[in-house]
Amino acid sequence: MAVEWKGRVFMKRFLVAVGFLTIISVGKSQIREEDLVGSMVFFPLVGLMIGGFLVGVRFISLQVFSPAVVCALVIATWVVITGALHLDGFCDTMDGLSGGRNKEEILKIMEEPNIGAKGAVALVFFLLLKVFSAQEVSAFGLLIAPMIGRWATVVAGSIASYPKPSGLGKPFVGYIKTKGLFLSTLPVFVIGLILFALNIFWYLALILLFVFVAVSYLKKRIGGITGDNLGAICEIAETLSLLVKFG
């Protein structure tokens, strides 16, 4: 799929990324498949916007509530502003991988609209882990975590293939090329260097290792990655961001 990179389409694709990754409405203009592919360049920047909002929520809430309550409010805000998009993918992925014995069964389970028992248990544990880890993370760590999570999905989408003939996640898997990956990575490196100096290099290396392991595992189980899997990768990468300390 050829993706245009003319300056005049950048804003449209940025708005597509905002509309896809958050609950913010950005209009109802016609969206082509090329726009969905191109919007991935802006995923990390949208993540940075989300992180900035979360930092603001935490700062204001700390003036009123205890740190433990503030952490819960931050995670709740995180879920609401993203429309639980990636959490849904995380639950579906956990259900599919734990309940399916082969590719067909795993994909079928992930397509079911309801969350299974194993997915629900994983969700509760995962949210608790996020709440507790958010108590220790710095403002800079909270700022960059959503950015890193969405960058991880771009990397995963650039090195994987889609295991089904069609699906909602197909435009985000296998089409982003070197230029798009570079453009999405550039702000991550720049902002990471500003906030964390050289520590950002080993940190991003950890995230890359996780992405490659996750993609390899999913390729072995189902022959590629789906949109649900991208959501799971985003959520886990975000949580790794909260857990890692930069010294």
Is 50 exceeded by the pLDDT of residue 17?
A: yes
List Cα–Cα distances, 198 to 1, 125, 231, in angstroms.
36, 32, 28
Long-range contacts of 71-76 (CB under 8 A, 24+ apart): 71/131, 71/132, 71/134, 71/135, 72/131, 74/134, 74/142, 75/127, 75/130, 75/131, 75/134
- Model pLDDT for residues 18-34, shown as the tens digit of each residue: 999 999 877 656 777 88
Provide the pLDDT for residue 29.
62
pLDDT confidence tier of residue 247, bands split at 50, 70 and 90:
very low
Is 70 exceeded by the pLDDT of residue 66?
A: yes
Mean pLDDT along residues 42-70: 95
Share of the chain above pLDDT 90, in %: 64
pTM, to two decimals: 0.92
Q: In 3D, which of 227, 118, 241, 112 has the Cα closest to residue 174?
A: 227
Provide the pLDDT for residue 27.
64
Provide the pLDDT for residue 166.
82
CB half-sphere exposure, 234, CA atoms < 13 A: 30
Cα radius of gyration (the chain): 17
- Model pLDDT for residues 68-119, shown as the tens digit of each residue: 899 999 999 999 999 998 999 999 999 999 988 899 999 999 998 888 888 9
Angle (nearest 5°) at CA 92 between 91 and 93: 90
Angle (nearest 5°) at CA 51 between 47 and 57: 145
Mean pLDDT along residues 152-162: 94
Is 50 exceeded by the pLDDT of residue 42?
A: yes
